[in-house]
Amino acid sequence: MKNSGKVIRIKHQSEILKNNPLGDPFLRDLWVYTPPGYDADSGKHYPVIFGIPGFTGFGEFYLQRSFFKQPFNEMIDELILEHQMPPIIYVMPDCVTRYGGSQYINSTATGNYEDYIVKELVPCVDESFRTTGMRAIMGGSSGGIGSFTLAAKHPDIFSAFADHSGDSAFEYCYLTDVPQYVTAMEKYDHSLEKFVDSIQDRSIPKNDDFNCILNITAMAACYSPNPDCQPLGFELPFDIRNGKIRPDIWNKWLTHDPVHMVDNTEIQANLKRLKLIYIDCGKKDQFNLLLGARQLHEKLKTHNISHQYEEYDSDHFLLRKEQKRTTIPLLTNALTN
């Protein structure tokens, strides 16, 4: 496209991710979109949006093209050139772990991915590009809860966020998978160690049972780490053989649930500082996330926290790109007004 922006790949070496518990790479790709005219106008500075992917997604996910899918850089080009929004810098980090994802939080079982973004990637982008210092963050699914959490905990870093179908109301999006998890783990003799050792085995079908185990295992590593539980360093919130809930461990998970986080007065104060909060979800979401979105919406209203909320007539996957085409201008305008 004429007058299009540019996508730059930075090889970022992280000190924070060095020696992470899973032995995952600490040299990671950081993809950065700069808008049309960035190179020509060396005196202009731009707001930044961090786009964080869902579970198992890499940053370059946003740049993928298919018959039905337009890469994000082209979509942002169009929005800028059609004068629907001012120019921005769009940042696409990689926070994938051996288990599929980090939920963008610090964990002794996976690594300190919250610190990685806030303490390393934000300064890296500010030092490498001409930024205004104004930032937003957005994402879908795990990227949705990550956007909520990072903005709610770091309002000095992120001034706005968009949460598309983010994990919330954990009892409906996670606990409903417990029966399938317990049954599927019979293949691995109910041994988490055996499952973890098999994750990279390409001969194992990546079917619904595998995905169920992987997702709950990854969430446990993020939400209920315990260095005393070796060799994996985390605990499940239920009995792996009969599914009985372990309330002490489950309560650790709930501290990361946005529906519960909003009851914290410090989080409420942080959210009230933000320029824009946007939350949406599909009415046919396959993971029951609509219930969490509605509960979060009600909690925000109860605490008089200004936000925009929307439901759309589709599922977890089909309309998210279209929703993001709407929210990128909303976030950008919030940062520039």
Pick from 183, 263, 177: which is nearest to 220 by CA?
Answer: 177
Which DSSP string corresponds to 1-59? -TT--EEEEEEEEPSSSTT-TT---SEEEEEEEE-TTTTT-TT--EEEEEEE--TT--G
* Structure-token pair, residue 124: 């890296």
- The alpha carbon of residue 180 and the mean position of all alpha carbons in its chain are separated, in whole angstroms, by 25
First to last CA, the chain: 28
Looking at residue 1, its pLDDT comes to 47
pLDDT score at 65: 84
Peptide bond preceding 231: is omega within 30 degrees of 0, i.e. cis? yes
d(CA 196, CA 199): 5
Alpha helices by DSSP H, the chain = 72-81, 113-115, 122-128, 142-153, 170-173, 178-184, 192-198, 208-223, 247-254, 258-261, 265-273, 289-302, 320-336
pLDDT of amino acid 319: 61
Mean pLDDT for back-to-back runs of 10 residues, the chain (337 residues): 85 97 97 95 94 94 81 94 96 97 98 98 98 97 97 98 97 98 97 93 85 97 97 98 98 98 98 98 95 98 98 83 82 96
Q: Are strands 111-112 and 131-140 parallel, antiparallel or unpaired?
A: unpaired
Distance CA 94, CA 9 (A): 11
Report CA-CA distances (Å) from 41 to 35, 100, 130: 11, 40, 10
Domains and CATH numbers, the chain: 6-169+258-336 (3.40.50.1820), 172-253 (no CATH)
Residue with tokens 């994802």: 101
The single residue listed with the structure tokens 């599929």 is 100
Query: How far are the Cα atoms of 80, 137, 162, 334 from residue 85, in angstroms, in the given order?
Result: 5, 16, 16, 10
